Chain A
Amino acid sequence: MADITLAPPTTTRKTGFKDFFAAIGRHRGLRHPKIRLALLILVPILVLTALAPVLPIQKPLETNLRAMMQVPSIEHPFGTDKMGRDILSRTLAGVQISLVVGFSVAMIALMSGMVLGTLAGFYGGMIDRAVMTVVDIFLAFPSLLLAIGLVSVMGTGLVPVILAISLADVPRFIRLQRSQVLSLRSRAFIDAARTINAPQSWLMTRHIVPNTIAPMLVAGSIAAANAILIEASLSFLGLGIMPPQPSLGNIVRDGQTYLEQAWWISTLPGVVILLIAVGLHFLSDGVRELLDPRSRQ
């Protein structure tokens, strides 16, 4: 019939690795200015962190009593602390912890938010009421306060910190997922699938969840940035990662006492925290703009 426009057969499905990398290079995500800026900040930090074990610097826990409180120099780019430990090395180790915390929290919050939010939004009724009552109670507390409370119950260390921050973040994800599911549930394509008697598990996995992922990813990257800040705050307060294990928060705390004599101990790791947070926020902002249908043509 008439409104046929012939298009060349699409071959994008079967391509070699070369084409794959070329496609990534051309991807409009990489041309987005905010994403570029984010990568410009984050990639060097990531690369340095990954290379930390092979860099010609002191190990993070190694002390050197002949080089205490050194000003930043070629040998110690971030200087040293009161025990002669290399701040750069400690900072990179802290970044590693930060990234583990950020990524784990985002994944845990994303996954559990997705499951619980989908169930609550899709089934409604009792399930919805039960889930949302708990969510509303959690949301009544600021997340840092909640995390402090949870850590004080669960104890300090990496795993409790991750769990505490995740638990404080999950309610937000449930809320977001549930609101998305509610609006998708009434869309015509759900009705269309119901007319062929598609089972509910099919509706959820094939029609609802794939359409909720993009906004959840954006929320996930914001949550990662916040989790890094909260972990730093907890460690700064002495509730997170315990010394001598370095974390950005406890390095800053260590240096706080010597701010007047050795500004670099607190300031430089602080700047790194700032850079990571800013980078992740730009990234999530860029991803959000990229995924916004209004910015598409």
Chain B
Amino acid sequence: MNYQAPVRTTLLEVRDLRTEFQTPSGTVTAVDGVSFSVERGERVAVVGESGSGKSAMAMSILRLLAWPGRLAAGEVRLDGRDIARLSEGQLNAVRGRLVGTVFQDPMSSLDPVMRISKQMIEPIMRNLKLNRQEARDEAVKWLGKVGIPEPERRIEAFPFEMSGGMRQRVMIAMALSCQPRLVIADEPTTALDVTIQAQIVEVLKNLTAEAGAAMLFITHDLGLVARFAHKVAVMYAGRIVEFGRVEDIFARPAHPYTQSLLGTIPSTEMLKSERLPQIPGLPPDMRKPIVGCAFRERCGAAHDRCAVEPPVLSERGPDHSAACWTDKGLTDSISLKPKSSARTNKPFEPDGSVVVELNALWKQFNVSRKTTVRAVNGVNLRVHKGETLGIVGESGCGKSTVARLLLGLEKPTSGDIFISGLAQMVFQDPSASFNPKMRIGDIVAEPLVVKSRGAKLERDEAVRRLIGQVGLDASFIERYPHQLSGGQRQRVAVARALALNPSVVVADEPTSALDVSVRAQIINLLADLKHDLGISFVFISHDLLTVRYISDRIAVMYLGEVVEYGAAEEVFADPRHPYTKALIDAVPVPDPVIESRRSSVPLEGELPSPLNLPRGCAFASRCPIATDLCRAEKPTLPTHELSRQVACHYAV
């Protein structure tokens, strides 16, 4: 790792921070005694799942907690000053001037009715004591640095005139323009596509290094941590459970939670016949008091002491500490692998019959009389029986439209869809895909009722069988969706999709709304069903590691076209289309050693508007090897029969 130890002066010191939320059902201690420090120029990543208190912790540092949150105890020393004791007026001088912030959602963190210039120039004038013209020059300079084209012109734009990636760049420019000592970034790239994420991360990394600013980077993505951070703090249930240098955390994790998290990410070497290691259970309910170690119920190494005494952070090596009573956490003897890590029963044998066939599929949406969005432009795809087809691509590439066409939710403008049997769907957001007024049993039975399959008793029997098949017990039948966790809801969605014995299940981002520790459970479930029942899957995701693990074949889409198609392993090992290469390069791998070796030249630019597509190759505007030929003539995908297809004039 290119980590040069900076001059060891502490910039931020947090001691025994406690943050509480007053809720009608009692006090929730979101942050429970967190202590750590950040050196000057250091990038510290805070990793944790939703509810782990990572955002509440970051907000507490700036005292930006909204009601009913409250900084209950602790000390936050920034540059030697205790933030907790400053007046609101003094704090305002700290916020912006000493600490810059970048939030997750670039859509809502900029004022929609103010031009960028107005939002940027005034803070610069105030903080750096410049006059309006100087401040404006400074703002333009920063917009240029974060990669906004034509910054002199774009500074007069309104936020709605910019894409999500551009707005996030503006946020970064705003955060850095007052030359802060510390930048707090709360999931700054979560809402963005991988290629844009790679660009943003690079910008943040270079600019903070250039300005000598330290950074507190909050994320749930371990890959990003490996790419980005010097140090890592792993949070669970409001506490830091492990803290150390990024190399140590990834190479020698000491806390069972860290070890489990690292284990649940599908690695590039993993065999498909192996199940993903998964963390059993759910994070604890923070409304109830936690006795002992909060992780003990999900921990393979838990023993008596864990139930009584909460472990404290203890030294595990230079600059490395973990809060666990065991020395090494999970060892091989108590591994987190499921009991049957390899699937033992005989796998379903594909017989080569085609279940889904899309022929020259086109879909256009008429936005108004004059403008047409061309969402899908001539897609040919086949899915064989028992096969999983992964569709990857950035948002706006048409992958979800293909799914909706396949399910008959949209009618194609032209082209044929052939499905042998029935297509069913598992949706992205498990909180929206169920009718909140229906019980789980009714939700699962609905397809049977609508198709009037079986009598009431037979349907009840079928529901019990389906619920069991996805690993839930019969008590769920009587519950309502809001009483279930995200992972449980996604299981119910799978059970419902299976009710009519479909030949193909379309899963549109089925794991993207789930926490890391639950994600592996759902991926294992889908892989098991495919293995046991021989159902074909169309798996749509932007999470390339998951797609690689679960898919047999992969179709890479760009602007409504398939640009590369082939066996999953081959496409990943040897991407031939420059876009596929760029996508795979953009995905951060949870290994700091690999990350430090990778070239850091992310794909430039953004997806062109699907309102007017280029005449030649759609990717030419961002392609590093594009020539005049590409811009003039469109490369087409060879016919179906090839096992590997690439739409590029220069594919090797």
Contacts and interface: CB of A to CB of B under 8 A. Distances in A.
Do A and B pair up? The answer is: yes
Interface of A: 1-10, 13, 187-189, 191-199, 202, 206-207, 210-211, 297
Contacts, number: 94
Nearest to A10: B478
A5 B491 CA distance: 14
Contact of B435 (A4, A189, A199): A189
B472 A202 contact: no
Nearest to B506: A195
Interface in B487-509: 487-488, 491, 496, 500
Given A195-B424, A196-B500, A297-B25, A189 B450 contact: no
B436 A211 contact: yes
Interface in B503-527: 518, 521, 524-525
Contacts of A193: 446, 450
Contact of A4 (B408, B437, B471): B471
Nearest to A191: B409
B437 A195 contact: no
Contacts of B408: 194-195, 197
A293 to B, nearest CB: 9
A32 to B, nearest CB: 12
Contact of B432 (A187, A198, A297): A187
A297 B450 contact: no
A113 B526 CA distance: 44
Contacts of A6: 473, 475
B243 interface: no
B447 interface: yes
A160 B521 CA distance: 64
Contacts of A10: 475, 478-479
Contacts of A197: 408, 450-451
Contacts of A199: 450
A210 B437 contact: yes
A189 B404 CA distance: 14
Interface string B1-37: 0000000000000000000000111000000000000
9 shortest A-B CB distances, which residue pairs?
A1-B471, A2-B280, A188-B433, A196-B447, A188-B432, A210-B437, A10-B478, A198-B450, A189-B435
B427 A188 contact: yes
Contacts of B404: 191
B471 A2 contact: yes
A158 to B, nearest CB: 36
B424 A4 contact: no
A196 B432 contact: no
Contacts of A8: 475
Question: Which of B279, B282, B432, B487: most chain A CB closer than 10 A?
Answer: B432
Question: Which of B447, B451, B518: most chain A CB closer than 10 A?
Answer: B447
Contacts of B447: 196
A195 B423 contact: yes
19 contacts: A1-B524, A2-B278, A2-B471, A3-B485, A3-B488, A4-B473, A5-B282, A7-B479, A9-B475, A10-B475, A10-B478, A189-B432, A191-B425, A192-B433, A193-B446, A195-B423, A195-B424, A202-B450, A210-B435
B153 to A, nearest CB: 36
Contact of B280 (A3, A189, A196, A202): A3
Contact of B518 (A3, A189, A297): A3
A30 to B, nearest CB: 17
Contacts of B525: 1
Contact of A196 (B428, B450, B488, B518): B450
Interface of B: 23-25, 278-282, 404, 407-409, 423-425, 427-429, 432-438, 446-447, 450-451, 470-473, 475, 478-479, 485, 487-488, 491, 496, 500, 518, 521, 524-525
A3 B433 contact: no
Contacts of B432: 187-189
B409 A195 contact: yes
Contacts of A4: 471-473
A10 to B, nearest CB: 5
A192 B430 CA distance: 11
Contacts of A196: 424, 446-447, 450-451, 500
B434 A195 contact: no
A3 B282 contact: yes
A199 B450 CA distance: 8
B281 to A, nearest CB: 6
Nearest to A189: B435
Nearest to A297: B25
A1 B281 CA distance: 9
Contacts of A207: 435
A217 B487 CA distance: 34
Question: Which of A189, A197, A206, A297: most chain B CB closer than 10 A?
Answer: A189
Contact of B409 (A2, A187, A194, A202): A194
Contacts of A189: 432-435
Given A2-B281, A3-B521, A7-B479, 7 more contacts: A1-B470, A1-B471, A2-B278, A3-B471, A191-B433, A195-B409, A202-B450
A220 to B, nearest CB: 18
A212 to B, nearest CB: 10
Contacts of A297: 23-25
Contacts of B487: 3
A8 B281 CA distance: 18
A273 B206 CA distance: 71
B295 to A, nearest CB: 14
B521 A195 contact: no
Nearest to B471: A1
Nearest to B472: A4
A207 B432 CA distance: 12
Question: Which of B435, B473, B525: most chain A CB closer than 10 A?
Answer: B435
Nearest to B287: A297
A188 B450 contact: no
Nearest to B518: A3
A166 to B, nearest CB: 27
Nearest to A208: B435
B637 to A, nearest CB: 28
Contacts of B24: 297
Nearest to A1: B471
B288 to A, nearest CB: 13
B91 to A, nearest CB: 29
A227 B399 CA distance: 53
B566 to A, nearest CB: 29
Nearest to A187: B432
Contacts of B281: 2-3
A189 B433 CA distance: 4
A144 B524 CA distance: 63
A193 B449 CA distance: 11
Contacts of A210: 435, 437
Contacts of A3: 280-282, 471, 485, 487-488, 491, 518, 521
Nearest to A184: B435
B21 to A, nearest CB: 12
A2 B525 CA distance: 11
Given A2-B521, A196-B451, A7 B475 contact: yes
Nearest to B496: A192
A211 B435 CA distance: 8
Nearest to B485: A3
Contacts of A192: 425, 427, 433-434, 496
A152 B224 CA distance: 73
Contacts of B279: 2
Contacts of B437: 210-211
Given A7-B475, A195-B407, A1 B521 contact: yes
A207 B433 CA distance: 11
A93 B355 CA distance: 73
A147 B474 CA distance: 55
A208 to B, nearest CB: 9
